[in-house]
Structure 1
Amino acid sequence: MKTLCKTPAKLIISGEHAVVNNCPAISMAVDLPMFCEMTSNATEVGQTPFIEIELVDCHQKHAFPSSVWQQLAIDIESRYQLYEAGALSIRSVLKQPIDLILVTLLHFHHHFKLQPMHWEIKLYGHGMLGKGLGSSAAVIISLLHSLFKHHHKSINTLELLSLAKTVESRQHGHSSGIDPSTIFQGGLIYYQQNKPFQHLTPHSFNAWLIDTGSPESTTGQVVNHVKSRFPSDHPIWNHFTQITEEIRNAWEAQDGFCLKEGIQKNQSLLEEIGIVPDKVKRFIKELEQTPDQVAKVCGAGNHKGQNAGMLLCMSPMPPLALCNHYGYNCIAINLSEKGSHCELV
């Protein structure tokens, strides 16, 4: 049996960091797909079941007998327990890209029992990893969706997303669940932890992704840094909630002026919590000197170094000259109304 699963990327319009503190957020699925090819074949008599994994964007290939990959994944779980006990940094839990795949397989195995077969898994996509596009969640969702298909299990959305949130916590510390939900469902969603998400009406818009480069810190490290300075009861999170509501209302009313004003306010708060490098601040300040142009960090950002991952820029035209001056890449944003989908091939 062979399947091909395609999952979009995600972009947070409002609510970065705030969503971890149980505040609402708005996110959208973006047409920058991640692909997972999965093949399962029965093993020959006397042959040990094993897994072959190819990570194309990382230029890696791995092969493990069942006992080996399971032990490696159990070691990852042990490191996560040490992280939760405060004895290890989140960056030490998943030490290499293959670890995310192994721990996803382990959690599926614990819940549903992975069939003892010869598995071949090939993952590839846009290659913009670690820049705020939800690459980890896309990998997890594409793997779980494929595994559900191969095991002939009907998709229970809540069950799949709960499992994805658990796995994503091994990457980021404590997942809010917004990335897997957006990627699996597609479209534009209003999200808050432990509440049903709401789909927002899609509208046409002119917006661009600006790549400022990979942050030196992981999402988990930046989230922990912000938490240490702004605990969940800090009043700044109420400001984030207010601005998210303003952006939501402006979006639904198709009020471009208020939408851009809300994005500016959101960016100011992101600067206040210390996750926007000085170079990126200068870029945004220069960009906003032109009328009808605004931009904001749309991932975890960075608390050290000069790169902040992806920016969301709303502008009638792409700011190519300014991007070239700063050495940034700029691409159009296209909404992916269809979330993860998996087909037999």
Structure 2
Amino acid sequence: MEIDANTRAIGESHSKLILLGEHAVVYGKPAIAMPFPLKVRCIVEETIGHVMLDSIIYTGVVDHMPREMQGIAACMKETLNYLGKPLENLSISIDSCIPLGRGLGSSAAVAIAMVRALFAFYGKELSKEELFSLVQISETYAHGNPSGIDMVSEASDCPVWFEKGKEVLPLKPTAPLFIAVADTGRMADTRTAVDNVKKRYAANPEKVEQSLEKIDDMANKAKAALLKGDIQCIGELLNGNQQELVKLGVSDEGLNGLVQRALKAGALGAKLTGGGMGGCMLALGKNMEHAKLIAKELREYGASNSWYFSTDSDMLYGVYE
């Protein structure tokens, strides 16, 4: 056996939040996504024999990975093939803090961390183009026809402006955002949410187009507000975006309740984030202490988890009972 670089390497990635524009992005509208400091770490080590995987979902030989991890398996195999390395003599450990199926980009984050770890293990430089090409394999398994917003935002250290098929633009806020995030404790039912939008479009295309155009306009205004540091404006736009998502049928009672609780706690704005029909929501605070207060209120209201953070720091804080 020969390992021509390291005997141990680590790759990391973070999750993501969609600030504005989910669902509208499917119809060619822009979205703003941002890093969320919930992280995943992948450790690759030298061993002898079959490639072994250790994760919260599955531990064992890679060839026997369960159906829900086939995208990760395919990404791993293609990465090793791309590097010209055999599928053997490796131990791969995945340690993720990102809850599954909540619209936070768990699958893309795991794939990013794994590709980074494998390239580091063999001492190879990794370009952004190589990373996206390999991660796309996993994302196609997970989502069928992914927009790409998860992997580009999770590979970025700042918010991004995303339009499918166009160049991704980094957005660097001139003032920090103080954000609280709450998990409903339920898997986001993205398929149902997408179908709801399609059904409404078929029944009343003019009404849905109006909502999509409003979301487009709000995304553009939020882009300008981020660059100016106008947090108050961003909050108002979050509220407006949530109203349109409710009209499109992608929010639900649990998400709506958390949004209202955040607003009652003085949040500048609040909305669901991700696929909807479960999953997570976010709220914008006035400062870090206010974000902490909102996160605490959301947990007391019934969120299974809540966190708060500032965009000018890589630190994430949780609220515990």
TM exceeds 0.5?
yes
Structure 2: runs of 5 or more not aligned:
1-6, 315-321
- Stretch deviating more after TM superposition (259-268 or 120-129): 120-129
Tell me the CA shift for residue 326 of structure 1. 3.1
State the TM-score, normalized to the length of structure 1.
0.77
SS where residue 155 of structure 2 aligns?
helix
Distance 2:246 2:71 in 1: 30
Contact preservation (8 Å) 2:261, 2:297: no
Tell me the CA shift for residue 190 of structure 1. 1.1
CA RMSD in angstroms, aligned pairs only: 2.7
Aligned 1:240-319 pairs, distance under 5 A:
240-302=215-277, 308-316=278-286, 317=290, 318-319=293-294
Tell me the CA shift for residue 210 of structure 1. 1.3
SS where residue 243 of structure 1 aligns?
helix
- Stretch deviating more after TM superposition (170-179 or 156-165): 156-165
Q: Deviations over 1:242-300 (max 9, x none)?
A: 11111111111222221111101111111112111123213323432454442111111
Cα–Cα, structure 1 residues 310 and 179, in superposed 2: closer, same or farther, change >3 Å? Answer: same
SS where residue 30 of structure 1 aligns?
strand
Distance 2:120 2:198 in 1: 38
Percent of aligned positions with the same letter in both sequences? 23
Aligned 1:1-345 pairs, distance under 5 A:
1-41=7-47, 43=48, 49-55=49-55, 57-58=56-57, 60-64=58-62, 69=63, 95-96=67-68, 98-109=69-80, 111-202=82-173, 203-215=175-187, 217=189, 219-220=190-191, 222-230=193-201, 235=209, 236-302=211-277, 308-316=278-286, 317=290, 318-319=293-294, 320-321=296-297, 323-335=299-311
Contact preservation (8 Å) 1:6, 1:35: yes
State the TM-score, normalized to the length of structure 2.
0.82
Contact preservation (8 Å) 1:131, 1:214: yes
Distance 1:110 1:188 in 2: 32
Would you say how many aligned residue pairs link Structure 1 and Structure 2?
Answer: 297
Cα–Cα, structure 1 residues 120 and 261, in superposed 2: closer, same or farther, change >3 Å? Answer: same
Structure 2 partner of 1:84: none
Larger relative contact order (Cα-Cα within 8 Å, sequence gap ≥ 6): 1
Q: Deviations over 1:163-217 (max 9, x none)?
A: 3223202112211111111111221111222222111123322211112112263
Structure 1: runs of 5 or more not aligned:
44-48, 74-93, 303-307, 339-345
Distance 2:120 2:219 in 1: 36
Cα–Cα, structure 1 residues 114 and 175, in superposed 2: closer, same or farther, change >3 Å? Answer: farther
- What letter matches 2:235 in structure 1? K
Cα–Cα, structure 1 residues 240 and 327, in superposed 2: closer, same or farther, change >3 Å? Answer: closer
